[in-house]
Amino acid sequence: MAEYGQHPSSVLTLKSAHDFDATIARLKAALAKAGADIFADVDQREAAETAGLSLRRTRLILFGNPKAGTPVMAANPHAAVELPLRMVIWEDNEGHTRLDYRDVSQTLGPLYGIDTEVLVPLQRVVGLLQAAVQ
């Protein structure tokens, strides 16, 4: 993935076994089944085009579940900058669909001092996303 630039170790990049549209549909269905809300679905390619620029197919989805996120924000209000959760679905130069997700369970503890037990619900997100793109 070096050809696409560096990223923090907390950002996981998954390759989807499905095309772009099917990947988004599968992710949304998996989130809904898990009880997560989708707060926003931003077509970043479309936004770029309105500014006269070009961008590969790229969608930013903000999602979460207040039952998981509220205890984090109650423990440390600064941690709210990491919530809701977000993922980016994008198409690489070969036409494969990729998913980037910042695993906040890796960052909320060390950066915000959130206790491990509060992060347990957020630790499940990685597995949910992995299953959706297989």
The total domain count for the chain is: 1
pLDDT in tens, 25-81: 999 999 999 999 999 999 999 999 999 999 999 999 999 999 999 999 999 999 999
Residue 3 has pLDDT above 80, yes or no: no
Position 45 in a domain: yes
Q: What percent of the chain has pLDDT over 70?
A: 98
Query: 3-state class of 23 per DSSP?
Result: helix
Q: How many Cα atoms sit within 13 Å of 125 on the Cβ side? A: 28
For the record, the structure tokens of 115 come out as: 């206790």
Position 92 in a domain: yes
The CATH number that applies at residue 77 is 3.30.310.70
Query: 3-state class of 17 per DSSP?
Result: coil
* pTM of the entire predicted model: 0.92
Position 1 in a domain: no
- Show the domain range for 66: 8-133
Q: What percent of the chain has pLDDT over 90?
A: 90
Position 3 in a domain: no
Position 103 in a domain: yes
Position 2 in a domain: no
For the record, the structure tokens of 20 come out as: 């772009």
The answer to whether residues 42 and 124 touch, using CB atoms and an 8 Å cutoff, is no
